Structure 1
Amino acid sequence: MTLASLTKPWAPMSYGFLDASAKRELRRKMVKAVCVPGCQMPYASREVPMARGWGTGGLQVSLTLINPQTCVKVIDQGADDSVNAASIRRFLSRVSGAPVTLDTLQADLIQSRHRIPEEILREDQVLVLQVPNPEPLRSVQPNMSIARQMHGDADYGRMWLQLYEQIVRSGRVMQGASYPSMVNGRHVMTPSPIPRWDVPKLHMAKHLTILSAGREKRIFAVPPYCRVEPLVFDDVPYRVEDHAGLTCSRSGAKGFFMNEVPQDDGTSAFELSDSEYGVKSIRRAEGDPVDLGDTWYTNGELTK
């Protein structure tokens, strides 16, 4: 045995950019996160060629899971063509050789910021969500040491009190994105900054969801077929955004989550937040053979 036989040829960087040690740690933490759904696992967040707060947590998870056969889709607030989404997609492809796609149905790995696609994901797909603030108790307990002890004791009374105060003051729960949700009946998590519209998509979903915060160095997961229940009172049901009566001005699709676009005359137009689903709807209306998958919502009502 020689020293040369134990070494590998020099390379400018490891496959997938991250070194082997970083990938091993992330894989261990992901396995732990899957075993304890909703529980935050700390990890040593590595440096990547992107500023913290712009998706470094999700990028590290994607770099760990990716291989040359993985078809990758990247979303930024529902859009595939934003600067952030295009940059991350191009970087993942360059460092891994993996193919990329805009179609949700063709993707094996979907990295997203703020949204979950409208089409229902399969069991063989993985959703990676970028998380800016993984701690749901931060607004009621700024001391993170005490907050982690509260998680250990399942002490979420302050979360319920916060929701109750919102109802008393405003007549309804004012929490929009990052709605606190109970995972598997044990841990309360903040499901990324996804809107209330997307939270029910995590409940008993077929796919694996991994949520990672690079700046806060925390990772947690929602395994397939796992209960995700928003915190609600028995007499105040959970309500999603009322977009059932809105129609996309470009594709004509109706009953999905919309973006409001102010017009010069003071009115508002609406466009489908899931940009690729809107493009596919337009192509189908023009007669192109397009495969539209089943959706979580139909006419604004949850169908799954």
Structure 2
Amino acid sequence: MSLSSLTKPWEAFSYGFLDASAKRELRRKMLKAIAVPGCQMPYASREVPIARGWGTGGLQVTLTLIKPSSVIKVIDQGADDSVNAASIRRFLSRVSGAGETWDTQEATIIQSRHRIPEEKLREDQILVLQVPNPEPLRPVEPNMSTARQMHADADYGRLWLTLYEQMVRSGRIMQGASYPSLVNGRHVMTPSPIPRWDVPKLDMARHLTFLSAGREKRLYAVPPFTRVEPLVFSDVPYKVEDHASLTCHRSGVTGYFMNEIPQDDGGSQFELSDSNFGIKAIRRAEGLDVEQGETWYKNGEFRP
């Protein structure tokens, strides 16, 4: 017996970087996540060439879904040109041969950190959200074994109590990003650290959404045309951020989610969080023929 007989000939890494075993496991867990919307599915998170906490969960899901005919869009808090978004998009293209784009309308897979694009997604598009902490019960129950049992029993009383305490102390619900939401009338999930502005975009949406946390080794899904209801009291309506009157200083667009940019004089300027949507608005204002999809919001009001 020789060493060469015990080893395989050298081969390049698998298509899409992940090995076939990892992809099979992820596909099984993704199918289970679709079958039980909002329910967390554990998986063996693999090592990928970015640090834990920088989108490894979303990257593994995208690597499992990707194919040469795919068109990839990656955004980081709305921006296509951030270092994290550009690096992930370039890596995905290199290991798969898939196309790259900034345009929401052209993409078939959209991987995002902390935002959902302003333009509506179609049935043939998949949204992959990076999630740092997938457990909505962690703030009220740090013991994960107990939290799993609470999910099994649909015992979310402590979450309701937390929201009630915020109302009593502050006069309003203070929960901003990662607003706990009931999926398909059964499981409460945390919809990634997306702002409250984006949560209604998941309700009865036409696209499939995967949410994956590589560090926590959990993924869950929101299938198309599935109810996603933020936890609210019947006499206290759900409110999104009040950005209806804010105007982007670059594009002049009003009525969408804005980033606040502090100025040296103590004031603030506002800029569209969805950078490509802002670029389209600027080009349209310059008279260029730019295709812009239908948006979830109009003049700050959500329209399903």
Name the structure 2 match of 1:202.
Answer: 202
Q: SS in structure 1 opposite 2:188?
A: strand
Residue by residue, what CA displacement relative to the aligned partner does 1:104-157 show, whole Å, maximum 9, x if unpaired?
000000000000000000000000000000000000000000000000000000
Cα distance change on mapping 1:43 and 1:283 into 2, 3 Å: same
Residue by residue, what CA displacement relative to the aligned partner does 1:225-255 show, whole Å, maximum 9, x if unpaired?
0000000001111000000000000001110
1:130 and 2:130 matched: yes
Name the structure 2 match of 1:150.
Answer: 150
Q: SS in structure 2 opposite 1:75?
A: strand
Alpha-carbon separation, structure 2, partners of 1:97 and 1:137: 40
Q: SS in structure 1 opposite 2:239?
A: coil
Residue by residue, what CA displacement relative to the aligned partner does 1:11-46 show, whole Å, maximum 9, x if unpaired?
221000000000000000000000000000000000
Alpha-carbon separation, structure 2, partners of 1:158 and 1:11: 52
Residue 9 (structure 1) shift: 7.4
Name the structure 2 match of 1:168.
Answer: 168
Alignment-mate amino acid for residue 303 of structure 1: R
Alpha-carbon separation, structure 2, partners of 1:76 and 1:12: 30
Alpha-carbon separation, structure 1, partners of 2:35 and 2:236: 32
Residue by residue, what CA displacement relative to the aligned partner does 1:32-80 show, whole Å, maximum 9, x if unpaired?
0000000000000000001100000000000000000000000000000
1:114 and 2:147 matched: no
Alpha-carbon separation, structure 2, partners of 1:184 and 1:10: 48
Cα distance change on mapping 1:9 and 1:70 into 2, 3 Å: farther
1:42 and 2:46 matched: no
Alpha-carbon separation, structure 2, partners of 1:105 and 1:99: 13
Q: How many residues align?
A: 298
Name the structure 1 match of 2:3.
Answer: none
Residue 10 (structure 1) shift: 4.2
Alpha-carbon separation, structure 2, partners of 1:27 and 1:123: 19
1:235 and 2:253 matched: no
Residue by residue, what CA displacement relative to the aligned partner does 1:241-299 show, whole Å, maximum 9, x if unpaired?
00000000000111000000011111100000000000000001001110011000000
Q: SS in structure 1 opposite 2:32?
A: helix
> Which runs of 5 or more residues in structure 1 are unaligned?
1-7
Alpha-carbon separation, structure 1, partners of 2:183 and 2:24: 26
Residue by residue, what CA displacement relative to the aligned partner does 1:161-188 show, whole Å, maximum 9, x if unpaired?
0000000000000000000000000000
Alpha-carbon separation, structure 1, partners of 2:112 and 2:11: 30
Name the structure 2 match of 1:193.
Answer: 193
Q: SS in structure 1 opposite 2:64?
A: helix
Name the structure 2 match of 1:5.
Answer: none
Alignment-mate amino acid for residue 145 of structure 2: S
Alpha-carbon separation, structure 2, partners of 1:193 and 1:155: 23
Name the structure 1 match of 2:5.
Answer: none
Alignment-mate amino acid for residue 62 of structure 1: T
Alpha-carbon separation, structure 2, partners of 1:43 and 1:251: 43
Alpha-carbon separation, structure 1, partners of 2:116 and 2:223: 15
Q: SS in structure 2 opposite 1:220?
A: strand
Alignment-mate amino acid for residue 257 of structure 1: F
Alignment-mate amino acid for residue 255 of structure 1: G
Alpha-carbon separation, structure 2, partners of 1:95 and 1:291: 29
> Which runs of 5 or more residues in structure 2 are unaligned?
1-7
Alignment-mate amino acid for residue 243 of structure 1: H
Name the structure 1 match of 2:99.
Answer: 99
Q: SS in structure 2 opposite 1:198?
A: helix
Alignment-mate amino acid for residue 79 of structure 1: A
Alpha-carbon separation, structure 2, partners of 1:65 and 1:181: 26
Q: SS in structure 2 opposite 1:105?
A: coil
Name the structure 1 match of 2:282.
Answer: 282
Alignment-mate amino acid for residue 207 of structure 1: H
Alignment-mate amino acid for residue 102 of structure 1: W
TM-score using structure 2 length? 0.97
Name the structure 2 match of 1:216.
Answer: 216
Alpha-carbon separation, structure 1, partners of 2:53 and 2:102: 24
Alpha-carbon separation, structure 2, partners of 1:90 and 1:100: 8
**Alignment identity in percent?**
79
Q: SS in structure 2 opposite 1:197?
A: helix
Q: SS in structure 1 opposite 2:265?
A: coil
